[in-house]
Chains A and B, each alone.
Chain A
């Protein structure tokens, strides 16, 4: 089976990889590029653990064929922090105990970033609906929602 060459920008870096056409972008990120921050929780778009920003839009990378990434800009959890500075969401998740096992955390951070990019002052309900595509089984969501609201507040203050 011949492989397709894909060039794209991932976390600010120009990147290229080879993939088979029916390979998901999730698998390409993990297996070809060893960017294992994205996780496979279900492979069918129902859990959000594989969430990325693709050209600024929140998507499940398990539902994207890897060749579709040609020419695109992708953000994964590895690209959230700026050098030594954690993104406020990352810091608030740590301080707010918004993670336990941590396997859903990369997906939640990306989904929360997308939410706050579009809505910097969400209500609790808006946060809950904005994160409805991400499953967590450990926390019951309470501390995740609080941490996102706290991060939103901090980000508004420093804006």
Chain B
């Protein structure tokens, strides 16, 4: 393997265009163990971390038509998100997802871009990005395009990226008022495990405290992240009481298409997906309530 570290997106895309055996990486926290386990390494490994745009983290205030949004470089370490109070204030759920990837050692290297493009069904940040309608900005030597994060991963280990393309940054619009996200996952220890089930939720409350919008996404229970429209519909217009939560749990369990593996059984994942869906909705709603500062 040969190592190169381009310093601009143009340089990186030129490289990818001209070298079919080149692969990009950010933290390599998934990649190194995969190579150790026998995955054939590429001829050229392209380090994205020296490209300033790819390690940025900035909030744009926006104008009248477009609200505030955040731009996160695809190779920005997850730790920078957890350290940024302003980011946490806007996206507590996406922040906690970022803070759950492995250990502190891992979070200083792991990135949203890597977590997304590695294509693991159990990636912690993907459900949280999906409920926040995050967009992936993709560059190639022929230009850039932007697609919802939900459309990037197509199956375990595979993405919709064409050869020569790389994810450059993730854009997330700041949530509207009275809205908050949350992410919960189940692992057998307290740290260091791959998610057995991960659930993200984003809840918006109206003035009377009922749910006016809901996004629920499940991770690690299907080949890709799964939205749960039935749960979302059950929530909209409801006061998020026990009956609603029971419906949410049932819908989440039903939406799973899990496998048996060394981390959990199908049955277990289905059951716990329901449990976490309830809990994460309650958490997101609580945050949304706090955010509305008593007007609801």
Direct contact of A and B (CB under 8 A): yes
- Spell out A's residues near B (CB within 8 Å): 4, 21-22, 24, 43-46, 48, 51, 54, 57-60, 62-65, 67-68, 70, 111, 114-115, 129-130, 132-134
Identify which of residues 37-72 in chain B touch chain A, using a CB-to-CB cut-off of 8 Å.
41, 45, 47, 49
Chain A residues with CB below 8 A from B294, complex form: none
Q: A134 vs B1: C-alpha distance in the bound complex, in angstroms? A: 29
Q: A46 vs B28: C-alpha distance in the bound complex, in angstroms? A: 14
Chain A residues with CB below 8 A from B102, complex form: 45, 133
Chain A residues with CB below 8 A from B45, complex form: 21-22, 65
Q: Are B103 and A132 in contact (CB under 8 A)?
A: yes
**Chain B residue with Cβ nearest A52:** B105
Q: Are A65 and B106 in contact (CB under 8 A)?
A: no
Q: How far is the CB of A105 from chain B (nearest CB, A)?
A: 16
Chain B residues with CB below 8 A from A48, complex form: 103, 105
Whether, in the assembled complex, B176 has its beta carbon less than 8 Å from a beta carbon of chain A, the answer is no
Known A-B contacts: A60-B105, A115-B104. Give 8 more (CB < 8 A). Answer: A4-B3, A22-B35, A44-B36, A51-B105, A58-B108, A63-B27, A64-B109, A68-B49
**Chain A residue with Cβ nearest B106:** A45
Whether, in the assembled complex, B143 has its beta carbon less than 8 Å from a beta carbon of chain A, the answer is no
Q: Mind listing 13 A-B residue pairs with CB under 8 Å?
A: A22-B35, A43-B36, A45-B33, A45-B106, A48-B103, A59-B105, A63-B27, A65-B47, A68-B49, A70-B5, A111-B105, A132-B190, A133-B102
9 closest Cβ pairs, A-B complex: A133-B103, A132-B191, A21-B3, A44-B33, A57-B108, A22-B1, A67-B3, A133-B105, A60-B105
Chain B residues with CB below 8 A from A54, complex form: 108
Q: A115 vs B107: C-alpha distance in the bound complex, in angstroms? A: 13
Q: Are A64 and B1 in contact (CB under 8 A)?
A: no
Whether, in the assembled complex, B2 has its beta carbon less than 8 Å from a beta carbon of chain A, the answer is yes
Q: Are B104 and A133 in contact (CB under 8 A)?
A: yes
Whether, in the assembled complex, B192 has its beta carbon less than 8 Å from a beta carbon of chain A, the answer is yes
**Chain B residue with Cβ nearest A71:** B50
Q: A46 vs B32: C-alpha distance in the bound complex, in angstroms? A: 12
**Chain A residue with Cβ nearest B190:** A132
Chain A residues with CB below 8 A from B1, complex form: 21-22
**Chain B residue with Cβ nearest A2:** B2
Chain A residues with CB below 8 A from B106, complex form: 45, 60, 63, 133
Contact with A along B108-128 (1 / 0, CB 8 A): 110000000000000000000
Q: A134 vs B33: C-alpha distance in the bound complex, in angstroms? A: 17
Q: Are A65 and B105 in contact (CB under 8 A)?
A: no
Q: A21 vs B3: C-alpha distance in the bound complex, in angstroms? A: 5
Q: How far is the CB of A104 from chain B (nearest CB, A)?
A: 13
Q: How far is the CB of B234 from chain A (nearest CB, A)?
A: 35
The CB with the most chain B CB atoms within 10 A, among A22, A64, A115, is that of: A22
Identify which of residues 121-139 in chain B touch chain A, using a CB-to-CB cut-off of 8 Å.
none
Q: A70 vs B49: C-alpha distance in the bound complex, in angstroms? A: 12
Q: How far is the CB of B107 from chain A (nearest CB, A)?
A: 9
Q: A44 vs B79: C-alpha distance in the bound complex, in angstroms? A: 19
A21-B45, A22-B1, A133-B191 known; A63 vs B32 contact (CB < 8 Å)? yes
Q: How far is the CB of A121 from chain B (nearest CB, A)?
A: 17
Q: How far is the CB of A111 from chain B (nearest CB, A)?
A: 7
Identify which of residues 1-51 in chain B touch chain A, using a CB-to-CB cut-off of 8 Å.
1-3, 5, 27-29, 32-33, 35-36, 41, 45, 47, 49
Chain B residues with CB below 8 A from A60, complex form: 105-106, 109
